[in-house]
Structure 1
């Protein structure tokens, strides 16, 4: 029972809250606001449950299945909202210009004197949802809100978390890793709601073509769903603040355990540390070159002094720190 609870509170909790719960909400609205208008179709009469308990069971099963599908498709779903996939080149370029201009307007407002303290804090918060480098700007607000913490490790330490994410999460303290998973859950929740409401609105409008008599129910359903889509998008952007803080903490506290796990010694000077992580990133992305032997020599740890990872069995007679 304890293992089940740990699973639910771990990765299973993120799946449940981030994808299954919003799927259940979207399906509930469909079942009770759209599906009754399709009662005249023979297919709906055959698959629709005959009792309330059967209807709830069908809703639960469909919500779990839809949540699993959305979770499996989360990368393309995110990439579209970030502006990286399925965007025409003209729309992509226009989005970049819009976001760069918006960031510049915020920076100008922050630089203006005389703002009340609370207003200045809000402006700083909005400006912080953009990456530092102009070349890192994405064509959407959600893309920039996510890109800001994707570039954090590289900007501060030259540690590319996009390349070394698996290594970092394997070596970093588990509380920090769990924190990043938990902090992402609200963003997943709003993204799932966004796509579900968009699909719900399209389904309601398509149903209206089949059953024009249900105008009084389908049109308000589609209108409310469409109005809520930008609300969920805005909520997803704001929810990335906690996610960004969790990733920042993961990078800051996980650098040394990662260096130890890779058999490296973290340099005292920040400039040398940045050079070391740049070499590690290159080693992970590019084919091996003999020059790496000399480049890594100053950072290699003494094999007799390597600290074993937590959970690694101690071999009798093996040198220990």
Structure 2
């Protein structure tokens, strides 16, 4: 079975093995335990589960591994959709739009509350610093902790109201999608696909590792969510056994919160890769390198139509020596050097 899993990893790739196969193995194993317990016909029997596990031979284990691989292959193309659903892209139906509006309003109120709390704590700290008789150190430490915690929570939200998403994961990702390239004049969603083409392999591996960790957490949360629903359906009329559904629910919740933490790491990786490789992109596009951030932002204003698939405004290109453009009468030429 180990050789079979290794072959699948080499054939399909490490990303599939980590993000799709591993959570599928956990889901199939959980379903096997649930079915072996007799939950389909009555209350679960732990003795039946122990007997099924101890009597599991190589052929049955290989069959379970094959089922897990099939589940992973079938659901692997859905990974992007699963992440988008976790971000809060729920479609245009009346119910989904209403749920989205309610969730967005809740997160806007939460963001405003923590932002205002951070501001109030900062103002109190200034008053304490200027006071002739400051309070005792214990009070100052509590105020400092309050300020840091409120600032940390507010950093999980985008700045503009229109950018607030209906989920924690969506808000963290949106914050970096908008903010990672904001100092340079374009959002990260516009810069990153191009920057990734010129970034060194080690930096791309660093970025992909952060994305894989987030995707793994999201997929694990989704699979444990499925396990929770199956447990509720099978144990609905089995009394206190229904409390067993709290196990996959808790694991799903913890995996989702882990995905939120990993989203911060992925967002920082996006910002770092863009910041360190954007000039390589300008060189590949044969654009004149800007001397400061203001020039760079003006350059991006002229590049913006390229991302919108509309006609580009006039750009000045810088060609390498020996590959200068041919002069065309009546057409503005790029400045020298």
Among residues 83, 88, 106, which one is paired with 1:83 in the alignment? 88
Distance in 1, Cα, partners of 2:73 & 2:273: 27
Gap change, CA 1:230 and 1:39, over 3 Å in 2: closer
Among residues 92, 100, 109, which one is paired with 2:117 in the alignment? 109
Q: Secondary structure at the match of 1:73?
A: helix
The worse-fitting range, judged by mean Cα deviation, of 97-106 and 12-21 is 12-21
Q: Match for residue 16 of structure 1?
A: 17
Distance in 2, Cα, partners of 1:138 & 1:190: 19
TM-score with structure 1 length normalisation? 0.77
Q: Secondary structure at the match of 2:156?
A: coil
Q: Match for residue 131 of structure 2?
A: none
Distance in 2, Cα, partners of 1:219 & 1:193: 22
Q: Secondary structure at the match of 2:83?
A: helix
Write the mapping of 1:118-267 to structure 2, written as runs, cut at 5 A. Answer: 118-208=145-235, 215=238, 219-267=242-290
Distance in 1, Cα, partners of 2:152 & 2:193: 29
Gap change, CA 1:138 and 1:305, over 3 Å in 2: farther
8 A contact 2:21–2:68 mirrored in 1: yes
Q: Secondary structure at the match of 1:151?
A: helix
Gap change, CA 1:282 and 1:273, over 3 Å in 2: same
How far 1:73 moved relative to its partner? 0.8
Unmatched 5+ stretches in structure 1: 41-47, 307-320
Distance in 1, Cα, partners of 2:269 & 2:25: 28
How far 1:217 moved relative to its partner? 9.3
| Higher Rg of the two aligned structures | 2
Distance in 2, Cα, partners of 1:81 & 1:90: 17
Distance in 2, Cα, partners of 1:221 & 1:15: 30
The worse-fitting range, judged by mean Cα deviation, of 76-85 and 250-259 is 76-85
Superimposed CA distance per residue, residues 204-262 of structure 1 (whole angstroms, 9 cap, x where no aligned partner): 333347xx6xx379634423222333222222112212111111111101201111111
How far 1:303 moved relative to its partner? 3.7
Distance in 2, Cα, partners of 1:305 & 1:250: 31
Gap change, CA 1:129 and 1:264, over 3 Å in 2: same
Superimposed CA distance per residue, residues 290-310 of structure 1 (whole angstroms, 9 cap, x where no aligned partner): xx23xx12xx2134288xxxx
Q: Secondary structure at the match of 2:13?
A: helix
Superimposed CA distance per residue, residues 248-278 of structure 1 (whole angstroms, 9 cap, x where no aligned partner): 1111012011111111122012111012123
The worse-fitting range, judged by mean Cα deviation, of 256-265 and 228-237 is 228-237
Gap change, CA 1:73 and 1:31, over 3 Å in 2: same
Report the structure, 1 or 2, having the larger helix content.
1
8 A contact 1:179–1:246 mirrored in 2: yes
Report the number of matched residues: 284
Superimposed CA distance per residue, residues 11-57 of structure 1 (whole angstroms, 9 cap, x where no aligned partner): 933332223212212221111123542787xxxxxxx9985212321
Write the mapping of 1:42-61 to structure 2, written as runs, cut at 5 A. Answer: 51-61=56-66
TM-score with structure 2 length normalisation? 0.74
Gap change, CA 1:39 and 1:94, over 3 Å in 2: closer
Distance in 2, Cα, partners of 1:159 & 1:305: 32
Q: Match for residue 95 of structure 1?
A: 103
> How well do the aligned residues superpose, as a CA RMSD in angstroms?
3.1
Q: Match for residue 317 of structure 1?
A: none
Among residues 302, 305, 311, which one is paired with 2:319 in the alignment? 302
Gap change, CA 1:104 and 1:184, over 3 Å in 2: same
8 A contact 1:160–1:281 mirrored in 2: no
Q: Match for residue 313 of structure 1?
A: none
Q: Match for residue 134 of structure 2?
A: none
Write the mapping of 1:68-79 to structure 2, written as runs, cut at 5 A. Answer: 68-79=73-84
1:33 lines up with 2:34 in the alignment: yes
